[in-house]
Amino acid sequence: MGAEALGASYRDPSGFVYTRDGALYRQVNRVFEGHYKAFLDSGLYAELVEGRLLVPHREVSLDLAASPEAVAVLEPERVPFISYPYEWSFGQLRDAALLTLDLQERALARGLTLRDASAYNVQFVGGRPLFIDTLSFEPREPGAPWAGYRQFCEHFLVPLVLMSRVDVRLSALLRSHLEGIPLDLGSRLLPRGTWLRPGLLFHVHLHAMAQRRYADRGSGAEGRGEPSAATRRGVSPAAATGLVRSLRGAVQSLDWTPAGTEWADYTADNNYSNAAADSKRQAVIEFLRGLEARTAWDLGANTGEYSRAARQVVPSVIAFDIDPAAVERNYRRVKTENETGILPLLLDLTNPSPALGWAHRERQSLEERGPTDVLLALAVVHHLAIGHNLPLERVAGFLARVGRSLIIEFVPKSDSQVRRLLRDRADIFPDYTREGFEAAFRGHFRIERAVPVAESERTLYLMTALPWQDT
């Protein structure tokens, strides 16, 4: 079977990532051989891998190369689930930014530099950010400014300031701006008060002005594309390190406290009795024990209460929620308690992450990243069916495409949470009954078990997706 390049890995002539026979490889091309060797010889690779800051790899035979330009083939440790910056909470983006700056400072100390500062070079593994682009390091040309400076500001700093100072939901701009939020847009959207913060004044506002001022000149002397004397020799190692530290100060000064939102407070503010919550938790764990699942997606996870229950049985749980505050709280708990098997992510289930980028192939849709072994959809279906008018049959169809098994909770109209949804609107959902729910889901799943949740009118189902789910 031949090599197949990853959709996002084609812009860089130094190498690319591809799969062959299901294994993941990174090819190093001849043009980058010297830089790659310098990176290894500097000791930086060993230092970063030891600190779990960079994905480790092993060099394998050149016979596995995808093209004749290869001088080395690396087999990196596989990232269990690829997530994207527009799916991260504030704290996750901030930690990814700090990791990038940490790497750049360590690289500078060894005479190297990061060639770029893309947020897509970072993934979350074992509850921590991990840099995945081994070919991002190269020897630093004496005096050269940091080529990744603008990219760092547009991928990390501007989104973080907007989330911190304007509205946390502005992280959604990263979904429409895959190359980062443009500096001029960020500068215009930020409140005037940010002009009084030296770090933000310099790295965002003056940076945006400098971009405009020099936009027509090119980066070279007289716009010929050759580096001018000033830009060739202008930045000493101390100044380069100073720039990184200044950026770190700007990032560290930003904070966002998740206030009590509807979902972040949901666990404390729902209609379950303790007995009902215990009964539900035990049923979920019991269902999972029979599945031998390796991965689970908890849809509508809130702050991750049932994700943690699932984690007792399943090694890797992705806890999706629509609420930035709930995801942030979940991530902070993952960090505080050193939880390695839970990855909290932002997701609007009614508008899940689509395939994005050139030819729709650079960033995968949620569906392309599945199917997962088991889906948890607890207290979610009534929000989709009644809150968003999504027919149950369509909900079932989508869930069957992204999960092999499904643990789902049906919440009847008599439940206070559903009554709340219907309080101010006409009930146009005659099929929203337990019978209607089962009929809709039988089109896509085999119902294995159904157990009532104690002290409630809810029912918990275990289902298996039927094999024909490609429509």
Partner 1 sequence: MYIDPTAGSLMLQVLAAAALSAVAMFSRLREVLKHFFRSLLPRRWAQKR
219 binds partner 1 (CB under 8 A): yes
CB of 145 to partner 1, least distance (A): 4
| 242 versus 452: smaller Cβ distance to partner 1 | 242
Here's the x/- map for partner 1, 95-134, by CB under 8 A: it reads as: --------------------xx-x--------------x-
Q: Quick check: 142 binds partner 1 (CB under 8 A)? A: no
**Residue 34 binds partner 1 (CB under 8 A):** no
Minimum CB distance to partner 1 smaller for 95 or for 154 = 154
Cβ at position 242, least distance to partner 1 in Å: 5
Residue 1 class from Cβ within 10 Å (0-12 exposed, 13-18 middle, 19+ buried)? Answer: exposed
Query: Cβ of residue 116: shortest distance to partner 1, in angstroms?
Result: 5
Site for partner 1 in 13-32 (CB under 8 A): 13-14
Which of 73-81, 89-97, 205-213, 285-293 is the region at the interface with partner 1 (rule: CB under 8 A)? 205-213
Cβ-based burial of 346 (10 A; exposed 0-12, middle 13-18, buried ≥19): buried
Nearer to partner 1, 183 or 381 (CB): 183
Closest CB 118 distance from partner 1, rounded Å = 7
Binding residue (CB under 8 A) for partner 1 from 127, 148, 370, 403: 148
Least distance in Å: CB of 433 to partner 1?
54
Considering only 141-149, 357-365, 379-387, 416-424, which stretch makes contact with partner 1 by CB under 8 A? 141-149
| Alpha-carbon gap, residue 394 to 79, rounded angstroms | 31
Contacts of partner 1 in 236-255 (CB under 8 A): 236, 238-240, 242-243
**Own/partner long-range contacts of 62-68 (Cβ < 8 Å, ≥24 apart):** 64/20, 64/25, 65/3, 65/27, 66/3, 66/5, 66/16, 66/18, 66/20, 66/25, 66/27, 67/3, 67/27
Element spanning 297, H or E: strand 295-299
For partner 1, the closer of residues 242 and 315 by Cβ is 242
In the set 212, 224, 294, 360, which binds partner 1 (CB under 8 A)?
Answer: 212
If one counts every other C-beta atom within 10 angstroms of the C-beta of residue 288, the result is: 23
Residue found by looking up tokens 């294995």 in the block = 448
- Tell me which stretch binds partner 1 (CB under 8 A): 58-66, 78-86, 144-152, 270-278: 144-152
CB of 402 to partner 1, least distance (A): 30
Q: Per CB under 8 A, does 6 bind partner 1?
A: no
How many residues touch partner 1 under the rule CB under 8 A: the total is 39
CA triple 273-278-279, angle to 5 deg: 95
Helix axes 434-442, 392-402, angle to 10 degrees: 50
What single string gives the DSSP state of each residue in 392-432? Answer: HHHHHHHHHHHEEEEEEEE--TTSHHHHHHHTTS----TT-
5 binding partner 1? (CB under 8 A): no
**Residue in the structure block whose two tokens are 């104690």:** 454
- Helices (H), ranges, 110-228: 149-152, 158-165, 173-176, 183-189, 198-200, 207-213
> Does position 217 bind partner 1 by CB under 8 A?
yes
* Of 218, 260, 354, 452, the one binding partner 1 by CB under 8 A: 218
Angstrom distance (rounded) from CA 470 to CA 400: 9
Least distance in angstroms from the C-beta of 196 to partner 1: 19
Do 108 and 241 form a contact (C-beta atoms < 8 A)? Answer: yes
Binding mask 429-468 for partner 1 (x = CB under 8 A): ----------------------------------------
CB nearer to partner 1: pick between 236 and 350: 236
CB of 397 to partner 1, least distance (A): 38
Q: Does 139 bind partner 1 (CB under 8 A)?
A: no
Six-digit token string for 50: 């030891």
Rounded Cα distance between 74 and 57, Å, is 6
Q: What distance in Å separates the CA atoms of residue 49 and residue 435, rounded to the nearest whole number?
A: 54
Closest residue by Cα to residue 154 from 179, 123, 188, 122: 179
| Residue 415 is a binding residue for partner 1 (CB under 8 A) | no
Regarding 215 and contact with partner 1 (CB under 8 A), the answer is yes
CB-based contact 304:336 (threshold 8 Å): no
Q: Are 9 and 55 in contact, with CB atoms under 8 Å apart? A: no
Binding site for partner 1 (CB under 8 A): 11-14, 115-116, 118, 133, 136, 145-151, 202, 206-207, 209-215, 217-219, 230-231, 234-236, 238-240, 242-243
